[in-house]
Amino acid sequence: MKSLFARLWRSFCLMLANQPSLTLYFLPLLQRCWPGFLPGQYRAHVVTKQWQTADMLQLSLKVSPRWPGFVPGQHLLLTLYHNGRYISRPFSICSPLSLWQSHRHIQLCCKISSAGEFTPLLNLLNKGAVINISPAQGDFYWQQPAMPAVFVAAGSGITPIAAMLLSQRHWLAPATLHYRVRGTENAALLKELKQLATRQPLFTLQLSDSRLEPAETLQQQLCADLSNKQFYLCGPQTFMQQLRTMLSQHGVPAEHIKHEQFGFALPPAANIKSSTTEPLLSANFIRAGISTAVTLNSQHSLLQSAEQHNLAPRFGCRMGVCFQCVCDKVSGQVRDIRSGALSGHGTEQIQLCVSQPVTELVIKL
């Protein structure tokens, strides 16, 4: 019934405004009246900033009462307006659920990379600054608290795991955290986790210093007792891959190994390798009345394809959040990469970064 209503509403919007939603149609006007407004996003105010380590900044945010909340372990997209465009990055919530329930506050631990485009901006935010956040997302959360659990975190991978452990109210089974760090001075949230280990007898904290201890030692510790345990892994990609391979080789079933992977990040065009096996379609991109015919790979987003052909379309987050890449599709059908939903065949606005071609297209940039 709900999906029928959604389909009818979408058809109504397309009929009325050539858009899949009326919010999209009125977006320029809404942003003029309410600077920073983004559909599907929520306002949050910076309450405090505090360095957890030399490069890990903890932001405390007071979130809008409309924000729907989170499950400890989930992440959100934080969006900032910079140099005339919106840019977004995912961050895990590191604070306990009780803080949000009691004060509508959440905390994010953000690793600041001085060479990056986004994270240095976080350090420039003043108290009271308003930012946009998405609803919490992801399925990395403590699924069976009644079963013994082993958590393994490295670097900023500690953030979702800290939220899970610090939120747990009723401990039903033992849990051990193996926290791989480069010296305790680089261990974010260590104080909070030590306090938890002191007051909760079922929780054990084990630090593994990468400067003193090879990764194999940690692997041997994990292998010592693998039976009937669930594993939660969060850290750099290669670190997690090694652990997952090792656990699988020792017979741990895949459903007992959970790992966090910040989802939805399409590679920039430079990283795309062409493949002869992927179906090709043609499209005409029109800019200032001049039409450019290009070949599209149906597995790539339209943003990636346009960039590959040096058409330099406007973009921001590359994740479907900021609406900077919205443009007019004149004809043809596209698929929304996030939901798989198909567009109509006629004129409507689309987001290039989350649209893949289904048929031949004409697009106005």
Give yes or no for residue 332 binding ligand FES (CB under 6 A): no
Pairing relationship of beta strands 175-181 and 203-209 according to DSSP bridges? parallel
- Closest approach, Cβ 276 to ligand FES, in A, equals 28
CB 192 within 8 A of CB 162: yes
Give yes or no for residue 229 binding ligand FES (CB under 6 A): no
- Closest approach, Cβ 263 to ligand FES, in A, equals 15
Give yes or no for residue 188 binding ligand FES (CB under 6 A): no
Phi, psi of 361 (to 5 degrees): -135, 155
Closest CA to 132 of 45, 48, 73: 45
Among 44, 61, 164, 321, binds ligand FES (CB under 6 A): 321
- Closest approach, Cβ 351 to ligand FES, in A, equals 5
Closest CA to 243 of 231, 229, 255, 261: 231
Give yes or no for residue 89 binding ligand FES (CB under 6 A): no
Give yes or no for residue 20 binding ligand FES (CB under 6 A): no
Q: How many residues bind ligand FES (CB under 6 A)?
A: 12
Give yes or no for residue 77 binding ligand FES (CB under 6 A): no
The DSSP string of 144-202 is: -TTS-EEEEEEGGGHHHHHHHHHH--S--S-EEEEEEESSGGG-TTHHHHHHHHHH-TT
Give yes or no for residue 361 binding ligand FES (CB under 6 A): no
Q: How far apart are CA 220 and CA 6, in angstroms?
A: 52
- Closest approach, Cβ 85 to ligand FES, in A, equals 8
Closest CA to 156 of 134, 191, 180, 192: 180
Give yes or no for residue 334 binding ligand FES (CB under 6 A): no
| Only segment of 15-23, 103-111, 149-157, 314-322 that touches ligand FES (CB under 6 A) | 314-322
Give yes or no for residue 132 binding ligand FES (CB under 6 A): no
Give yes or no for residue 163 binding ligand FES (CB under 6 A): no
Give yes or no for residue 327 binding ligand FES (CB under 6 A): no
Give yes or no for residue 315 binding ligand FES (CB under 6 A): yes
Q: How far apart are CA 358 and CA 306, in angstroms?
A: 15
Half-sphere exposure of 342 (CA within 13 A, CB side): 7
Q: Residue 76 is which amino acid?
A: L
* Residues forming the site for ligand FES (CB under 6 A): 315-318, 320-325, 351, 353
